[in-house]
Amino acid sequence: MELYELPLIEVAEKIRTKEVSPVEVAESSLARLEEVEPLLTAFVTTTPELALEQAKAAEKEIADGKYRGPLHGIPLGVKDLYDTAGIRTTSSSAQRADYVPDADSVSVAKLYDAGMVLVGKTHTHEFAYGATTPTTGNPWAPDRTPGGSSGGSGAAVAAGVVHVALGSDTGGSIRIPAALCGTVGLKPTYGRASRVGVASLSWSLDHVGPLSRNVTDAALVMQAMSGYDRRDPGTANVAVPDMVSGIDAGVAGKKIGIPVNYYTDRVAPEAAEAAKVAAATFEKLGAQLVEVEIPMAEHIVPTEWAIMMPEATAYHMDYLRNSPEKFTDEVRTLLEVGAAEPAVDYVNAMRLRTLIQAAWNEMFTGIDVLLAPTVVAPATLRSDPFVRWEDGTVEAATAAYVRLSAPANVTGLPSLSVPAAFTADGLPLGVQILGKPFAEPEILTFGYALEQNTDTVGRIAPVLEKVG
């Protein structure tokens, strides 16, 4: 078995004990990159020279007794929204084709401090404004979307190029590609980690977090990324808990909310079944299933878009005025619509969000976590980005995929997507576990329990021309 195929924790132990060198690990990752990248186009920019340089530095540090922990020497992909000093950061847009930051984003700097090795910058849907990442193929079927907006990160992890990649999540952009590519994806609580140095889509909805091959990997990286940052007024000045040591505590006696509405509306049978099977697994492990009604369900998606669109336009207004032709038609149209939204609608959406948050907090007084499908359907074709329902109606892929992930952004609650099933065509599907504010350790414990009782987590996609 190649090094890129092993779980992060196994590679980390081999590095710690000097059984393998970080250089060997980096070389394995780069070889896999060369093998699959022509078919996937997961990366905007690759950094093989830097990766080997960082790996050699890690090798020397470890030889000198300066081991930094389980992320030391581990390959990393970074969504191209995150600033990386001296390395272009394009946001997958012609607007920033030549932008080279002088400093690293806070998250990248923290992971460098943990000893991680940068393999490259992964594609995003342009400026994270979409859920399909048109530039990139799904490793399980390259003619299918990897989801988005962190599609390059999902593809890079699922294909085995890197063990972990960074994503961002404004309406589901970590969890959607995680579900469609068969990886784990963690969107933390709003305020858990700094977004300084990360291009914004919607400042009051944006979150940063990892996509990884398994739950423990996500916990390790999220813990390293977390913490208060006075430069980001959205971060919360709360302690960072140990997200790893109690991850195997089990779920016996815990109450799991099972939605009877919203997450059951217009959901493909295979996606709904994946959630039912996951619920049954938790019940066998001693958890109690509690039916819950999602409050204010009809207001969630309108609130998401009514906040996101004007905030996105405000962030990009200079580009929209001075170089609109450099946007793709899709994103330019969304920004123009955002510019036309009345201020009163934005203010009312912000007020409505407060009511939704209060109603969800009340719902969570009777449960520990909420379990639901991550996406409504498996990956659509890249050439035809629509979900086609059995009744003959169609739904644009971005709108369809965001439906089930948006609640965690509107409420700011933490949500973990875990691979749960494969369709008859061999396409992945995920379930998401939502928790109370700053309860990342709890949802990670649930995710770990599910991971240990299924064979769907940790698979590496073969990256074939066709699926099935």
What was the pLDDT predicted at 388?
95
CB 118 within 8 A of CB 82: no
Strand (E) or helix (H) holding 421: strand 415-422
131: exposed, middle or buried (Cβ count in 10 Å: 0-12, 13-18, 19+): buried
What was the pLDDT predicted at 465?
65
Residue 230: left if φ>0, alpha if ψ -120 to 50, beta else—which one? Answer: alpha
CB 418 within 8 A of CB 444: no
> For residue 260, is it within any domain?
yes
Can the peptide bond before residue 383 be classed as cis, meaning omega within 30 degrees of 0? no
Q: Which domain holds residue 374?
A: 3-298+345-452
> For residue 90, is it within any domain?
yes
Structure token digits, residue 15: 């590095």
140: exposed, middle or buried (Cβ count in 10 Å: 0-12, 13-18, 19+): buried
> For residue 361, is it within any domain?
yes
The whole-angstrom separation of Cα 63 and Cα 423 is 46
Residues ≥6 apart with Cβ < 8 Å to 89:
80, 81, 82, 83, 96, 99, 100, 101, 121, 199
Q: What is the CA radius of gyration of the chain?
A: 20
> For residue 466, is it within any domain?
no
pLDDT in tens, 281-301: 999 999 999 999 999 999 999
> For residue 461, is it within any domain?
no
Residues catalogued as catalytic: 79, 149, 173
Q: Where are the alpha helices (DSSP H) in 285-323?
A: 297-315, 317-322
Q: What is the CATH number of the domain that holds 189?
A: 3.90.1300.10
> For residue 144, is it within any domain?
yes
Phi, psi values for residue 51, rounded to 5°: -60, -45
pTM (two decimals): 0.97
Q: Where are the alpha helices (DSSP H) in 341-439?
A: 343-363, 397-411
CB 364 within 8 A of CB 292: no
> For residue 462, is it within any domain?
no
> For residue 329, is it within any domain?
no
Residues of the chain with pLDDT below 50 are 467-468
Work out the angle between the directed axes of helices 48-63 and 22-40 (0-180°, nearest 10). Answer: 160
In sequence order, the β-bridge partners of residue 117 are: 75
CB 118 within 8 A of CB 57: no
CB 83 within 8 A of CB 197: yes
The whole-angstrom separation of Cα 121 and Cα 127 is 14
Q: What is the number of domains present in the chain?
A: 1
The whole-angstrom separation of Cα 49 and Cα 193 is 29
